[in-house]
Chains A and B, each alone.
Chain A
Amino acid sequence: MSLPTKKKIFEVLESVRDPEIPALTVREMGMLRDIEIDEDGKIIIHFTPSYSGCPATDLIKVDIMAALQEAGYKNIEIRDVLSPPWTTDVFTPETRAKLKASGITPPVETTSDKRLLLSPGKTVPCPYCDSNKTELLSSFGTTACKSLYRCLECLQPFDYFKCH
């Protein structure tokens, strides 16, 4: 088979999704930092884990390996890149739209926003009806990266992707 190229590997990995947020690929999640091909043709995946305790991290690495092996690549290393740390600031408008379409409100702030840790009340709009009349049900939700809200207009409960 032909030698790996960065572009081809990125294409293969477009099929790898975050098991806890299947609407997004690992690239869109910001966990796939870069791909390096060394002189021996070894594929080095620069991987940035999200939450310290995210139980999906190991599974995502297995999925990355599996996708590449299925595409015929053998010499692969997944290298953890901790710095700079993972952040939701990398979400593109396209990524945010995908989150919203899957019923998850994307982060309403960026981490440079210092009010983040202090402000009690921020407006988190409902991903279904766009109403701003919502309330926090639980600071910790279905996964480490989300909290749980309820829309007071359409009464639908929904996930909010925490700003991180």
Chain B
Amino acid sequence: MESVYSYFKMYALSYNQEYQIKGGRELYQQLIEGVAAVYNKALTKGFTHNHVILNERKMTKIMKQVKKSGPLYLLLIPSIILLICFSYLPMYGLVIAFKDYSPSLGILESQWVGFKHFIQYFNSYQFDITIKNTLAISLYSILVGFPLPIALAILCNQIRVGTFKKVFQVTTYLPHFISTMVMCGMILLFLSPSTGLVANVLGLIGIDMPNLLSNASLFSSVYVWSDVWQHVGWDSIIYLAALSAINPTYYEAATVDGASKLQKIIHIDLPLLLPTAMILLILRAGSLLNVGFEKVLLLQNQLNLTGSEVISTYVYKIGLQNFQYSLSTAIGLFNTVVNIIILLLVNWMSKKLTNTSLI
């Protein structure tokens, strides 16, 4: 789940090309023209001979192009088959959110029930808890996890000693490659209230260690700050790339004007990082209801459950542990729809405010 976010982030910078592909527009026009021609033919029975030839020419042109792209389609086929099987077929499976799915009847035969499962979820006491926790953890992560990589990139950019810079980068990226499983194992070991490393360090200065993981209200802090420890370096790479692309003449001009280093950061670095930051923020907002599911699930225990049950863990428990397939699918669908709405909203706002947008 976490990697999905970083994937999106990388994607953010290459998205521009998606919407600049011209071939598609041509195809669309050709299709429109083709349809128009067929309509003409049907409506005006006395069509001219000329018309038909033109139409046929267009069709053979399309056929020719398809034929020419044949080998390219061959290269696409394996991924298309896998996508149809494992991405698009499950999307079709979403209809069970509106049905009473039973495995013996299958998807088609199951009874339609409309919005029953959605209403059931909205009325359940778990609705408040899961929404509240999901939003709390998510907003907390954005609040902390969004500015810190920017700060780190600026910091790293200020280091002038080459070898030290390299060491700094390598060490800050290092924790990113620890698996979620091991990370959670480390959190459990270090935060153990009696024998953990943190307890021992606090013991040196005479502070008693609270049991962070059995306290529901502290769960989000444990989650967010351990995430910062693990990913802040990696998340800063994209900003570092943006910083290295800044034209050095800006800095030279600022030096001539007598700007201090701090002033250069405030007046050059920050404004030039804004577009990148905005796009990343939009994408992040788009996954507002997607909390790093694996980590939450692993750190969850009976004692912190009221602070750690998020939508995705609830979907998992309802669906694959309690076998309420339809209810689980409905909650998941609700999650996706809300995410898309938020993405579009933030995108629209950002377009109005800073002229940066995704779509």
Q: Do A and B bind each other?
A: no
B residues near A (Cβ < 8 Å) are none
A residues near B (Cβ < 8 Å) are none
